[in-house]
Chains A and B, each alone.
Chain A
Amino acid sequence: DIVMTQGALPNPVPSGESASITCQSSKSLLHSNGKTYLNWYLQRPGQSPQLLIYWMSTRASGVSDRFSGSGSGTGFTLKISSVEAEDVGMYYCQQFLEYPLTFGAGTKLEIK
């Protein structure tokens, strides 16, 4: 199984500052078709996960441009520019290259 490892944030993050969340995969998520099968989700307290980024760097429909994804085959970063109160929650990376699909353990974002 592909293991996804997420980094922590230096919480709380001051409102208006940027925050970067890291994720590493135990196997390259770069497919032969050129796409990197790495997704990012936000799960706000008491809610279901919400897709933020797919294919490592493509924002999902309706997602603020304050969210951006980048990376290589095995190392990824979700950047949130100018964090706001509504960004509070758990952020998960997830690989979609092969089954079983696997998620990172999550990174908590708190706002000051």
Chain B
Amino acid sequence: EVQLVESGGGLVQPGSSLKVSCVASGFTFSTYVIHWFRQAPENGIEWLAYINTDRTWTHYAETVKGRFTISRDNAKNTVDMQLSSLRSEDTAMYFCARESPGMGFDHWGQGVMVTVSS
């Protein structure tokens, strides 16, 4: 069974950093592009970033470029995202998802909550 499990969320102060992680199982992780999304409370879905299979290419939304860094470890079936210089508007549920090549996101994690507040 394909599974994606996020972890690492919590309550942090503005300006601080946090790492969220996504551990995958049930499929050949190294052959899939992984993306991160977020959803603020009662809001829609925002795409944040992706990393390709061999870590040679990453791409970010302008809202997080320069503050968030995505990385992956194919030996550990993990994709991390380092969140820095956090702002109150970064408060959201963060999801990782597997891309079915060109076809959309066919598996999502359950999400991890990040709250930025003083």
Chain A residues proximal to chain B, CB less than 8 Å: 35, 37, 39, 41, 43, 47-51, 54-55, 58, 60-61, 92, 94, 96, 99-106
Contacts and interface: CB of A to CB of B under 8 A. Distances in A.
Interface residues of B, number: 20
Given A48-B108, A49-B108, A96 B46 contact: no
Interface of B: 35, 44-47, 59, 61-62, 95, 97, 100, 102-106, 108-111
Given A48-B95, A48-B111, A54-B100, A101 B106 contact: no
A58 B97 CA distance: 19
Summarize B's interface: helix, strand, loop or mixed: strand
Contacts of A104: 44
Nearest to B103: A54
A21 B67 CA distance: 36
B103 A55 contact: yes
